Amino acid sequence: GQVAQGARGASVGEQTREILSTIDRLLAQAGTDKSKLLSANIWLADIATFDEMNQVWDAWVTPSHPPARATVQAQLAHPDYKVEIMVTAARD
């Protein structure tokens, strides 16, 4: 899973944006992109921040190819982390 290293302690929206940017970069390095996502797991330190995270997610995800997704509340590795995201993608 990916957490926001640069936006550590920032809002859920800012952390989500940073994580998704990192995921874009990692997917490109692997020879794929977000249009080929198969699944996503999202952990939130506080499920009450779901809407804030989801607005950023919805703006990022490919509308015609949304992955299966699970979003749950969990205690993350450090209190500054509010979001963790893990994705699985196909490659051509």
SS3 labels along 5-37: CCCCCCCHHHHHHHHHHHHHHHHHHCCCCHHHE
* pLDDT for the residue 92: 78
Distance CA 88, CA 81 (A): 21
What value, to the nearest 5°, has the Cα angle with vertex 43 and ends 31 and 6?
A: 65
Interaxial angle between packed helices 12-29 and 50-60, expressed in degrees from 0 to 180 and rounded to the nearest 10: 30
Write the pLDDT tens digit of every residue in 51-92. 999 999 999 999 999 999 999 999 999 999 999 999 999 997
Q: Which residue has the tokens 């999202």?
A: 42
